[in-house]
Amino acid sequence: MSGCSGTWACGAKRGPAGESVSRPERFAQATEIWQEAYRHQMQGELDRAIELYRRSIEVCPTAEAHTFLGWTYSFQGRLDEATHECMRAIEVDPDFGNPYNDIGCYLMQQGKLDEAVPWLERAKQAKRYEPRQFPYMNLARIHVKQGRWWDALREFEGAVRLAPGDTELRRALHSLRGRLN
């Protein structure tokens, strides 16, 4: 998991009653808040989710909270803000792969396929990323749109190696292999 960053990175902070709140306590509290935000996001309560992600970041900035806040913005079509939050997530924890993949997706949504590729490649290399097959799938989709069938095949095969139980992914690979035969 990512650690705290920002102005309180090295020490304790004062709680509402003036008590000292340690970094691990702030991290645990922030994690609990962003997990609640995620539940609201999945229920379609985007404004409430945004409010909670922001509160989590105030308590202790984490790559997860920034990334998920960005993802929520993307649900509202706010891709510039979504990208900005992903960039902040990368600053907090460059090993967290989700924001790289998300930036690649936001660029894909804008039709900037060539710009998306390096972000997706970085997601593939990230030390901490789940679901690991997503950047491979997204790169495969880019290659299909560009008519680069063999590159797409290579990416789909990589995705299937990482998620062999994903039937939709296996169908996409099978379909592409059929095109190439």
Q: How far is CA 40 from CA 15, 36, 43, 53, 78, in A?
A: 26, 7, 5, 10, 18
Specify the number of domains making up the chain: 2
| Domain encompassing residue 159 | 131-181
- Give pLDDT, residue 181: 87
In a domain? residue 154: yes
Report if residue 1 sits inside a domain. Answer: no
pTM: 0.87
Q: Tell me whether residue 126 is in a domain.
A: no
In a domain, 62, yes or no: yes
Q: Is residue 17 part of a domain?
A: no
CB 70 within 8 A of CB 102: yes
> What per-residue confidence (pLDDT) applies to 21?
72
Q: Residue 32 domain-assigned?
A: yes
Hey, what are 15's tokens? 């709680």
- The CA-to-CA distance between both ends of the chain, in Å, stands at 44
Are 110 and 136 in the same domain?
no
One digit per residue, the tens of pLDDT, for the chain of length 181 reads 334 333 223 234 555 565 667 889 999 999 999 999 999 999 999 999 999 999 999 999 999 999 999 999 999 999 999 999 999 999 999 999 999 999 999 999 999 999 999 999 999 999 999 999 999 999 999 999 999 999 999 999 999 999 999 999 999 999 999 999 8
Q: Based on the domain organization, do 80 and 149 belong to the same domain?
A: no
**CA–CA–CA angle 102, 95, 59 (5° rounding):** 80
Q: Is the peptide bond before 131 cis (omega within 30 degrees of 0)?
A: yes
| 107 and 37 within one domain | yes
Residues 112 and 144 in one domain: no
